[in-house]
Amino acid sequence: MSLLFERLWQGLLDTLLMVGVSSLLALLAGIPLAVFLVTSSKGGIFEAPRLNRVLGAIVNLFRSVPFLILMVALIPFTRLVVGTTYGVWAAVVPLTIAATPFFARIAEVSLREVDHGLIEAAQAMGCRRRHIVWHVLLPEALPGIVGGFTITLVTMINSSAMAGAIGAGGLGDLAYRYGYQRFDTQVMLTVIVVLVVMVSFIQFGGDRLAQRLNKR
């Protein structure tokens, strides 16, 4: 029992590390990407339709590739970045690349829902375009962005479990090696319970934060 607890604890730490680092990178890259997709579209404050279409196509390309296939396809790039294709840090690269366009599209929807009248009012008052982004677009869309990031986190936990099953470590590796391959139902059920608790906690916390930020 103590050995199972040690393995479970290590798997949990590995999963938290994978998801934590990847989600932070996806957040830092996804919000600017979403802002650019919104502001560079036709009628946007930084209108650049051609560049918007190219970037949108790239985002759609990465979103359309299943995570397992993407992870395999990125093996050479992963080795170049972290020096290995096995372990927690090797999983961070594909997790980040998969999560960034996913989160960017969700954040884009929230940004597009901001009342255009607020933007026009800010322009009428002589606000610079970067100030409109910082003081109008992002604050108004923040509840939706938080909700979207919560969904992204939950999706990344699922993906990390998949990555763990093929050598990335974490709870997925524990469930596959010690649960599935050894037909140990106790390990499988324990990992499932831990994942359910993690997802429920993140979803609850994200929903509460989004509600507090919502001024409507």
- The pair of structure tokens assigned to 117 is 């009248």
Left, alpha or beta for 83 (phi > 0: left; psi -120 to 50: alpha)?
A: left
Domain containing 46 equals 1-213
Structural domains of the chain, count: 1
CA distance linking residue 156 with residue 116, whole number of Å: 32
CA distance linking residue 167 with residue 87, whole number of Å: 6
pLDDT for 88 equals 84
pLDDT for 32 equals 94
Per-residue pLDDT of the chain (216 residues; tens, 9 = 90+): 577 778 888 888 988 999 999 999 999 999 999 999 998 888 778 888 899 999 999 999 988 888 888 888 888 898 898 888 788 888 899 999 999 999 999 999 999 988 888 888 887 887 888 888 888 888 889 999 999 999 999 999 988 888 876 677 788 878 777 777 677 788 888 888 888 899 999 999 999 988 888 765
Q: Look up the CATH number of the domain holding residue 121.
A: 1.10.3720.10
pLDDT for 1 equals 56
Residue 136 and residue 118 in contact, taking contact as beta carbons nearer than 8 Å: yes
- The pair of structure tokens assigned to 20 is 């934590």
